[in-house]
Structure 1
Amino acid sequence: MKNFNTTDTLARRLRQLFLIALMALAAGCSTIRFTYNHGDDLLYWWLNTYLDLDSDQSSWVKKDIDSLFVWHRKTQLHDYAQLLANGQRQLAGNMTAADLMGDYKDIKARSELLAYKALPELADLARSIKPEQIAQLERKFAKNNEDFRRKFMRGDQEDQQKARFKKSMDQFELWFGRFSSEQEAALRKASDARVLDNNIWLDERVRRQKRIVALLRKVQQEKLSKDATVSELHKLVKELFDRFEAPERKAFFDAYTDQTIQMILTAVKIATPAQKAHAQKRMQGWIEDFGHLANDPQK
């Protein structure tokens, strides 16, 4: 019987499976098809870097990932195309903060659906994890945290705002193309207006990681059944998705979300007709790619 385990921010990484295409961290429409068609291999590779899967685990983990992608391709991609079509209509009209908040909630809902769908397979993996693999996971978490500190916590507030702005600009330029220096100045002002406390984000990462490690140790030490493991994972996923509502930090997260929405609205407002046309064309290409992928079960 197969046994499965989870890794750094299960919910976040499953959400990125969706964002592989929707946010399109690639340079062209055709790249989405290539990336998605190799997404099963990429997801396996990612899991392996965290857990160093043995040969027995590898065989059934790959099959589970393949099954997840078959379900995702058949049931989710047309819906993603509809989300993008809605984004096109919003961009062509008078986009509002309410529109963007609705988009955010739609993406979150679909991310949750994907995470919960994978729970039985994740439970199998969790039940198969060995002590040395938990140690490997902790080392990987520690490295990720050090990378975060290096990228986003070096220097003073100005340095950290600059690093955050660069990350945002990578996404804006993906959608709209190049911005002028005047446009960048307006976007930098909107970016810097957002609350900045990277200690909170790091603390959230560490809290999440400890929670995952503790769950894996519980599964291993108590030899939980599959049903009990699914239940524990369900609670973890819900906790991760609901974290922005945690009372001790809700004010910070609410402010950050609202201010990020205002920054996106700034980008839309200052975009030239040519830049908006670039975004429309990009989204149309992705819509067509989603349709092609959904209708073609073969790689």
Structure 2
Amino acid sequence: MNTSAEPLRSLWLIDSKIIARRFWLTLALLTVLTLGACSTTRLAYNQAPNLLYWWLDGYMDFSSAQSTQARQDIDTFLGWHRSTELPTYARQLQQWQALAPQDMSPAQACAQFEAVRAAVQRASERGLEPLTRLGQQLDREQMAHLQRHQDKGNQSFAEEYLEGSPEERLNRRVDQAVSRSEMLYGRLSPAQRELVRSGLQQSPWDPQKALQERLRRQSELRQTLQTLQNSPNGTALDASRSYLIRVLQTPTAGYNANSQALVQHGCAQFAALHNTTTTEQRANAVRVLKGYEDDMRALAAQR
């Protein structure tokens, strides 16, 4: 998923609008950090220690000592993930293969989304302690580096979702959603493409509100990191956990209700598209999901 986010938020949050745009494929790709085919999946996951390190370093600009500790923490986290989470993902992918040939209700789609959200929650809790320890070590220049990186991500967000006419913005979203759907189902028909467009037009997602919430979370992340640098370990961990709670359940008035509305809309949108797919498209989805299941099992078996 090509979503810019704060380092902590990246492990802790699935934006509600994701489900409206890339449901099945997101479920599969969430587990492997890649947008490629099955052979690429295994390669990307095996490269995850380096990819994750360089991604975090881009935000934090690690010192030499921090680099050593970060690599150790990443190896420990991914070792847990490989042995504990990948078998769970494989079983979930097997269930999705059984669902894919059938019509689906919005409630069924939302149940699968909740399974993904639970996986993110488990990873969040697992990563909380090492990320807190890292936050305690950041100096003033690294904090400034983080803010510059956030500002750059916000500029990219604005370019993608706020610039251009309403029609141009919608066309970009439609192109992305169609591309992701076709990676699962194969080529969509003109009627299916129009269904995707219609669903996105009716979406309650507001990019201005999303940007404001994004800015709030970024500001609170920086405040939390400042708190961590002056806190003993136990208190620091509590501060990180408190931040996590406020990411998952924002204090912004009305935003949680809007997020839930986005999830419900996304579930309905996905179900509507899925229910128009042909036997061939559903068979293609089963093959894709089976490929990811095989990858999960092969990767979990590696030590």
Q: Same fold (TM over 0.5)?
A: yes
Aligned length in residues:
288
In the TM superposition, residue 293 of structure 1 has moved relative to its aligned partner by 0.6
Asked whether 1:56 is paired with 2:54, we answer no
Amino acid at match of 2:100: L
Asked whether 1:208 is paired with 2:217, we answer yes
Q: Where does residue 232 of structure 1 map in the other structure?
A: 239
CA pair 183-166 structure 1, distance change in 2 beyond 3 A:
same
In the TM superposition, residue 142 of structure 1 has moved relative to its aligned partner by 0.5
Whole-angstrom distance in 1 between the partners of 2:33 and 2:50: 17
1:140 partner SS:
helix
Report matched runs for 1:1-299 at 5 Å: 8=6, 10-13=8-11, 20-22=29-31, 25-220=34-229, 223-243=230-250, 247-297=253-303
Amino acid at match of 1:236: Y
2:275 partner SS:
helix
CA offset digits 1:166-197 (Å, max 9, x no partner): 22223211211211223211221122111241
Are the aligned partners of 1:161 and 1:192 in contact in 2 as well (CA < 8 Å)? Answer: yes
Whole-angstrom distance in 2 between the partners of 1:64 and 1:56: 13
In the TM superposition, residue 63 of structure 1 has moved relative to its aligned partner by 0.7
| Stretch deviating more after TM superposition (42-51 or 256-265) | 256-265
CA pair 47-145 structure 1, distance change in 2 beyond 3 A:
same
CA RMSD of aligned residues (A): 2.1
Are the aligned partners of 1:11 and 1:240 in contact in 2 as well (CA < 8 Å)? Answer: yes
TM-score scaled by length of structure 2: 0.89
Which consecutive segments of 4 or more residues in structure 1 shift more than 4 A? 14-21
In the TM superposition, residue 158 of structure 1 has moved relative to its aligned partner by 2.0
1:92 partner SS:
coil
In the TM superposition, residue 124 of structure 1 has moved relative to its aligned partner by 1.2
Q: Where does residue 17 of structure 2 map in the other structure?
A: none
**5+ long unaligned stretches in structure 1:** 1-6
Are the aligned partners of 2:33 and 2:44 in contact in 1 as well (CA < 8 Å)? Answer: no
CA pair 131-236 structure 1, distance change in 2 beyond 3 A:
same
CA pair 24-128 structure 1, distance change in 2 beyond 3 A:
closer
CA offset digits 1:99-133 (Å, max 9, x no partner): 11111111111101111111111121011101000
In the TM superposition, residue 15 of structure 1 has moved relative to its aligned partner by 6.1
% identical aligned pairs = 25
Amino acid at match of 1:178: R
1:76 partner SS:
helix
TM-score scaled by length of structure 1: 0.90
In the TM superposition, residue 20 of structure 1 has moved relative to its aligned partner by 4.6
In the TM superposition, residue 291 of structure 1 has moved relative to its aligned partner by 0.4
Are the aligned partners of 1:176 and 1:276 in contact in 2 as well (CA < 8 Å)? Answer: yes
Whole-angstrom distance in 1 between the partners of 2:6 and 2:123: 16
Whole-angstrom distance in 2 between the partners of 1:11 and 1:281: 32
In the TM superposition, residue 154 of structure 1 has moved relative to its aligned partner by 0.8
Whole-angstrom distance in 1 between the partners of 2:82 and 2:90: 12
| Stretch deviating more after TM superposition (155-164 or 122-131) | 155-164
